[in-house]
Structure formats: structure tokens, C-alpha cells
A and B are shown apart, each in its own frame.
Chain A
Amino acid sequence: MDNLDDLKAVWHTAKTDSLPSSGEMVRLIRKFRGQKLRNKWLVIVISLLLTILFVAILFIFPFKLISSFIGGGLMALGSLMLALTNIRSLKRFYRLDDSSNLEFIAFIEQTRKNQLIYYRKIMVFIMLSYSLGYMLYAYELTWKHPSWFVGVYAVITIYCSIMWFIVRPRAYKKGAAKLDAMQAKHENILKQLK
């Protein structure tokens, strides 16, 4: 078994008859294509719709205070950032086609670094935009009614606190740990290719 031809002969005895026929494969492809990225596309579409909605509301309703415009603008900016970040991350799925293994792993490593930047900086920026946006946006709608003002700001404060102190640290911990673990694997493969 030291001979490459012997190995090739053994290699080709692997059974492949359990693979689906071409007709079955076409049916499977039609059924499953796009399914993997459906959630990502959903986030992008919803974020873009929200951006349009926040901007449209500013034009439709007769807001008088500048705080409403700044608040609405910040919420629109947060949604737009979320959409753009997801659009950017989609590239890694399409980049699979026609890149060599070396180029592909280098690209994946770069996207891992981008994801870390997302968790450390962009996510903070998006959440800050939304939090400030809610606070400013709600002012004009509630300031004439003290009970509404207190109620609405209490809800916003609780919601923002949950997002900042529970949801974000958990998401960061989970995401960053996964990305750090991946770094070692990527570096190992890149080392193999040198």
C-alpha cells in the first residue's frame, strides 16, 4: 500500500450510489436554495424598511422640536447601520465561489476580524443610536402630559437597560468566544498553506 496507484485504486472503491440523482438534486436545490441566508436577508429588509419608516414619519407628522428630528434621524441611522453591516457580511457567503483555498481562508479570517469589530464597536454604535433616538424622539410626544412622560421614559429606560446590561453582554460573550476559538483554527490552516 505504499504505491500511489494502489491508494488510487482503493480510493475509487468508495461507494457513491447513495448520492441523489441529478433530478433529485435539482429538486433539493430548488427547495433549499436561499434558505441558509434567509434570516440574514430578513434582517436586511426589515432594517431598510425601518429606516424608510423612521424618515417618512419625520416628513409626514408635523414635528416642531429639533429633538424629534434628531431622535428620528438617530433611529434611522441605527437601522441603516444594521442593514449595511449585514449586507457586508453577506459577501463572505458569495465569496466561496472561485477563490482558491488560500484566498478563501484569508478572506474568512478578515471577516472574523470584521465581526469582532462589529461586536466591539458597531453594535455599541447601533445601540447608542437607538437608545438616544428613543429618548429624544419620545420627548415631543409626551412632554405636555406628565403621566405619559414618566410612563414612556420608564419603559424606554427599562428596555435600554435590558439591552445594554443583559442582551449585549451575552451576545458579545457568545460571539467573541466563538470568534476567538475560530482564530486559532484559521491561523492553523494558514500556517499549513505556507
Chain B
Amino acid sequence: MTTFEEIYNFYSPQIFRVCLGYTNDPDQAKDHVQETFIAVWKGLPGFRNQSHISTWIFRIATNHCLRAIEVAKRMPSAELPFNLAETWEESKEEKLIFLYRCIAELDETDRIIISLELEGLPQAEIALVVGLSSGNIRVKIHRIKEKLSQKFKAHGQFR
């Protein structure tokens, strides 16, 4: 995978989901995708495979998300709708909205870590993106999963 187009086609959906996990706002997530790929476009000629290309791209994307704290007063983390539990089994979309809302209620770095984990990145690579040790990431993922489980339980989504 060497051309920008190939990289974009492969990574843009992943980057979008991770940014959506962080922002819980599709428009903001799209802006972050665009900013990420502007940086990729600029940096690609000088990229020397010192790190895996996915690590490089996810670092750019998550740093762009973190930089948004300079401009955004607060990330949208809307309250859960009361009737969501009743319609849970009916729609995939409802499940997705519920998941993103639960993630939006987490701390900033927890949002990044769980988004990368759900995206399927190996924990060693998540550690490189975030800047923590693999062991630390493993512990954090365990804790985040517990937090999410509690949220699902609290809203009747646990089975």
C-alpha cells in the first residue's frame, strides 16, 4: 500500500469511526478525517517506515482529536434517551447510537483507547499511539470495558 489513494481508501473508514468515537459528532469526525489526511498527504513523501503506517496515521488522527480541546468548549456527550432500552432489540442503529453515547461519556483518553481497541488495533500498537506501556493499556482497556458494562447494565442493556 503505497499511494495516497490506497491509504485513504483503506484507512479513512477506520479513522472516521475512531474520530466519531471521540467526538460523537459525525460532522466533527469528518473534519478530523480531512485534517488527518491533509497531514498524511503532506507527510507521506517523507514517511520512512520508522513506525508502522497505521500507527503513524492513528497518531495523527488522535492528536487532531485531542487538539480539538483548544477550540471546543466541551465534547458532545448527550444524555441517554429514556426509551432506548425498550427499543434496544429493534434496531442496529439504536445499538450503535447507544454504544457511541456510552463512549462519549468516558474521559478523553479512554475514548481514544477503546475506539482503537474496537477498531481492532493490537494493544502494542495502541500503546505506541497513546504513549503508554502495553501493560498499562491492557489494564486501561479492562477498566474501560468494566465502565461500559456498568453503563449497559444501568440502562438495561446488559445480557
Question: Does A87 count as interface, using CB distance less than 8 angstroms?
Answer: no
Contact A96 B63 (CB under 8 A): yes
Residues from chain B with Cβ under 8 Å of A10 in the complex: 92, 95-96, 99
Residues from chain B with Cβ under 8 Å of A100 in the complex: 59, 128-131
Residues of B in contact with A, size category? 35 or more
Q: Which residue of B lies closest to A104 (CB)?
A: B63
Q: Which residue of A lies closest to B8 (CB)?
A: A22
Question: Does A39 count as interface, using CB distance less than 8 angstroms?
Answer: no
Contact B5 A33 (CB under 8 A): no
Contact A18 B30 (CB under 8 A): yes
- In the assembled complex, the Cα of A172 lies from the Cα of B33 at a distance in Å of 33
A25 and B118 in contact, given A10-B99, A13-B92, A18-B26 (Cβ under 8 angstroms): no
- In the assembled complex, the Cα of A56 lies from the Cα of B65 at a distance in Å of 45
Scan residues 94-138 of chain B and give those whose CB is less than 8 A from a CB of chain A. Answer: 95-96, 99-100, 107-110, 112, 117-120, 128-132
Residues of A in contact with B, size category? 35 or more
Residues from chain B with Cβ under 8 Å of A98 in the complex: 43, 50-51, 56, 59-60
Contact A101 B59 (CB under 8 A): yes
Question: Which label, helix, strand, loop or mixed, suits the secondary structure of the B interface?
Answer: helix
Q: Which residue of B lies closest to A92 (CB)?
A: B67
Question: Does B80 count as interface, using CB distance less than 8 angstroms?
Answer: no
- In the assembled complex, the Cα of A22 lies from the Cα of B120 at a distance in Å of 23
- In the assembled complex, the Cα of A69 lies from the Cα of B13 at a distance in Å of 60
Residues of chain A touching chain B, judged by Cβ–Cβ distance below 8 Å, are 1-2, 4, 7-8, 10-14, 16, 18-20, 22-23, 25-26, 28-29, 32-33, 96-105, 108, 182, 185-186, 188-189, 192-193
Residues of chain B touching chain A, judged by Cβ–Cβ distance below 8 Å, are 4-5, 8-9, 12-13, 16-17, 20-21, 26, 30, 33-34, 37-39, 41-43, 50-51, 56, 59-60, 62-64, 66-67, 69-70, 92-93, 95-96, 99-100, 107-110, 112, 117-120, 128-132, 145, 148-149, 152, 157-159
User: What 9 new A-B contacts, CB under 8 Å, besides A13-B92, A29-B37?
Assistant: A11-B17, A11-B99, A11-B119, A19-B30, A22-B8, A33-B38, A33-B42, A97-B59, A101-B59
26 residue pairs from A and B, CB less than 8 Å apart:
A1-B95, A7-B118, A8-B118, A8-B120, A11-B17, A11-B21, A14-B17, A14-B20, A14-B96, A20-B34, A22-B5, A25-B34, A29-B37, A96-B39, A96-B63, A97-B42, A97-B60, A98-B50, A99-B59, A100-B130, A100-B131, A101-B109, A101-B112, A101-B130, A182-B69, A188-B107
